[in-house]
Structure 1
């Protein structure tokens, strides 16, 4: 859809299926965004108390009633400074281990690097074999 010379990205809200204009700041409709902000306020108030700063995500879920997926969304978005909350983290995209930065844990990153090195070695070996087996033709009169 084009409005005033700019393209609008109309999508259905992943939570309630309502139609909304997606932008880089919100991935849900206005109504669901307000609900998420209310949930964030609930979690934030809980975590501000000194005795709750060492709580895990599951303890926060139990105490606040806010779904784990939403709390993890807040953490991934950087809405909580993890230096202040030592037991907060989110799962590695590959293995599910709890991490505090990035998308994958150190172990999965090492595995990925090792796999890439293996592929590079195989590619190099195939190239060397192809170079040795190259056939050259000459024209004789």
Structure 2
């Protein structure tokens, strides 16, 4: 069922169905901007353009470019210098929510946590052992 929301771009009301996060008018404007960016990137000399270069040449906002890369509308495989900021540190990545460095740090912290948890469990289990007393 649709939900009534304000468009984050223009403030107008629209029926949010879970597909588009902006109103119909803003979707059309975004599509026009997308066509400008895509035609810019299709030129051979512009395929390796960075986000900053695309913004400078087309006038499209960085956030819109990041949105298109996140939603796989612009594929980093075709345009290798495209990406979006890591949710943790802001470094540019082109897959997932975290960059490689942040993923590695998180994995390391999880391994450390698991090892500490296992160590605590082993100590707790060894303390539950049976004790013999020397009764004479």
Same fold by TM-score, threshold 0.5 exceeded?
yes
Question: Cα offset for 1:124?
Answer: 2.4
What's 2:69 paired with? Answer: 75
Instruction: Describe the SS at the equivalent of 2:77.
Output: helix
Q: Where does structure 2 lack aligned partners over 5 or more consecutive residues?
A: 129-136
What's 1:137 paired with? Answer: none
Please tell me the root mean square deviation across aligned C-alpha atoms, in Å: 2.0
After TM superposition, where is structure 1 displaced by more than 6 Å over at least 4 residues in a row?
Answer: none
Q: Distance in 2 between matches of 1:14 and 1:111?
A: 34
Instruction: Describe the SS at the equivalent of 2:118.
Output: helix
What's 1:97 paired with? Answer: 91
What's 1:46 paired with? Answer: 40
Q: Where does structure 1 lack aligned partners over 5 or more consecutive residues?
A: 1-6, 135-141
What's 2:100 paired with? Answer: 106
Q: Distance in 2 between matches of 1:81 and 1:111?
A: 26
Length, aligned pairs only: 130
Question: Cα offset for 1:35?
Answer: 1.2
Q: Distance in 1 between matches of 2:77 and 2:118?
A: 44
Mapping for residues 1-141 of structure 1, pairs under 5 Å: 7-133=1-127
Q: Distance in 2 between matches of 1:132 and 1:114?
A: 27
Q: Distance in 1 between matches of 2:4 and 2:118?
A: 46
